[in-house]
Amino acid sequence: MADQQTQINLHFELAEGVDELDTERIADAVQQQLQALEPVAEAEAATEETRLTGVEVAAGIAAAVLIVRSSRELVEELRKLIPAVQGLIADIRGLKGATVEVGNERVPIDHLTDEHLRRLASSPAT
């Protein structure tokens, strides 16, 4: 079975009080740690535009992860990625949470279901 490429788009929320210099440092750390994960072929992370969410200003980091596996293995690799990303959030000071783009919605990483993972696995890298 031929290998398939899937791109996973992650959005990391930053804790309050993180300044611009810290944001760059955190983005670099996120990219390095994502790149070191077993199923990841490529990873890229960068700061996102600061946005207003209700009454607060939210800063964040966007990351794209490329995984290359056979389609049969892809869902399992994505399933393994969840605790790895949760560990990364715990390890890097300043990170508060993460969401994953599934179609047109952002799903909190701890709410991903097998159906979400199948949808991610079936969407080709862009």
Q: Which of 23-32, 65-74, 110-119 is the least confident region?
A: 65-74
Query: Is the pTM value of this prediction over 0.75?
Result: yes
Asked if residue 80 lies in contact with residue 61, where contact means CB atoms within 8 angstroms, the answer is no
Share the mean pLDDT of the chain.
Answer: 88
Domains and CATH numbers, the chain: 3-122 (3.30.70.100)
Q: pLDDT-derived band of residue 58, with 50, 70 and 90 as boundaries?
A: low
Rounded Cα gap, residues 25 and 35, in angstroms: 15
Q: What is the pLDDT of residues 81-99, one digit of tens each?
A: 999 999 999 999 999 999 9
pLDDT of residue 86: 95
